[in-house]
């Protein structure tokens, strides 16, 4: 399959490229700042409409997995127009071009399209984002549903894992902090569905290969707050869990509002896919194994 992956140098995109190449697909990797792997790597500014259209038209991929996004929530809140351009409008360009080329489109969205009032959100629940990041990703979802012909919108949550040196994530940040032997302050009271990047990439690739359409939540199988996640990570990596100190969300000086419980219901994925959503404990075990293999 001719596959084009955007955000190919990111935590998720890098793993996707790796798995897709291993599966024998011909991969065009689109990146912005950091070089990416693939059969062909292409540096692109997603705001350049003509360039985006040209790259897609020239390669005519069988499928596009669109992972590229500005994910810094506070940055998006301070730069809402830029967030809308990159996360929303650029997604519309990709969606309309995929429609013209009859390319299958997989769009990676976020749990932050929800307001966090209830948690355990199903695919059919009504989005109501609290911040510019969530609004921009919801705009991307709307663009895809309005402009693409064959597509799948994927929502995920708190992606962590190894494989990207230029930016940390919840898992690698916690390990960096715990390794100092000092106390680590972690929010107790914000719930999500932490997702190992490797398993998310496996699920995304299966969705793409099988051309599963509609909306599907691909995330970790457990609803868990960040403090409890940090404690479990500390235990798995044999750090003293008492180093993890709980703090309230109100004590954090965020610029943008965050949903209190954006956890996702993953029953649909568990029923449909061979690559199932993983429990937190299994994710942490695989995360540890990946790090051991990387630094062996």
Average pLDDT of every residue of the chain: 93
Q: Which residues, 6 or more positions from 251, have their beta carbon under 8 angstroms from its beta carbon?
A: none
H or E segment to which residue 153 belongs = strand 151-156
Distance CA 202, CA 174 (A): 24
Distance CA 275, CA 203 (A): 5
The pLDDT tens digits of the residues spanning 135-146 come to: 999 999 999 999
Distance CA 47, CA 213 (A): 26
The pLDDT tens digits of the residues spanning 199-255 come to: 999 999 999 999 999 999 999 999 999 999 999 999 999 999 999 999 988 888 888
Domain parsing of the chain, residue ranges: 2-159+196-220+263-278
CA end-to-end span of the chain: 33
Model pTM greater than 0.85? yes
Confidence of residue 149 (pLDDT cuts 50, 70, 90): confident
pLDDT at 166 over 60: no
CB atoms inside a 10 Å sphere around CB 240 = 10
Average pLDDT score over residue span 121-141: 97
b/e per residue 255-280 (b: at least 16 CB within 10 A): ebbbbbbbbbbbebbeeebebbbbeb
State what percent of residues in the chain have pLDDT above 70. 98
For the four alpha carbons of 196, 202, 208 and 214, in that order, the dihedral sign comes to: negative
pLDDT at 295 over 80: no
Distance CA 123, CA 91 (A): 20
User: Which homologous superfamily does the CATH classification assign to the domain defined by 2-159+196-220+263-278?
Assistant: NAD(P)-binding Rossmann-like Domain (3.40.50.720)
Nearest CA among 165, 59, 64 for reference residue 106: 64
């Amino acid at each position: 399959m001719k596959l084009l992956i955007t955000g190919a140098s990111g935590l998720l995109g890098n793993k996707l490229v790796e798995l897709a190449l291993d599966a024998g697909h011909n991969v065009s990797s689109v990146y912005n700042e950091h070089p990416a792997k693939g059969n062909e790597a292409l540096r692109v500014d997603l705001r350049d409409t003509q360039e985006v259209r040209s790259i897609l038209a020239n390669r005519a991929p069988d499928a596009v997995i669109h992972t590229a996004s500005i994910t810094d929530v506070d940055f998006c809140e301070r730069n809402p127009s830029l967030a809308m351009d990159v996360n929303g409008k650029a997604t519309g360009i990709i969606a309309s071009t995929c429609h013209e080329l009859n390319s299958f489109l997989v769009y990676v969205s976020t749990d932050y399209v929800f307001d966090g009032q209830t948690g355990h959100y199903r695919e059919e629940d009504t989005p109501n984002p609290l911040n510019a990041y969530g609004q921009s990703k919801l705009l991307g979802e709307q663009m895809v549903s309005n402009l693409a012909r064959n597509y799948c919108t994927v929502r995920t949550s708190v992606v962590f894992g190894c494989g990207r040196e230029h930016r940390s994530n919840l898992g690698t940040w916690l390990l960096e902090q715990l390794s100092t032997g000092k106390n680590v302050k972690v929010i107790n009271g914000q719930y999500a569905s932490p997702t190992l990047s490797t398993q998310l990439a496996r699920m995304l690739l299966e969705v793409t290969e099988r051309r599963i359409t509609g909306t599907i939540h691909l995330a970790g199988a457990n609803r868990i707050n960040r403090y409890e996640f940090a404690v479990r990570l500390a235990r798995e990596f044999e750090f003293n869990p008492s180093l993890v100190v709980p703090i309230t969300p109100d004590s954090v000086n965020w610029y943008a509002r965050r949903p209190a419980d954006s956890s996702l219901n993953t029953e649909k994925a568990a029923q449909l896919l061979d690559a199932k959503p993983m429990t937190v404990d299994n994710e942490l075990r695989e995360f540890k194994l990946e790090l051991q293999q990387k630094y062996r």
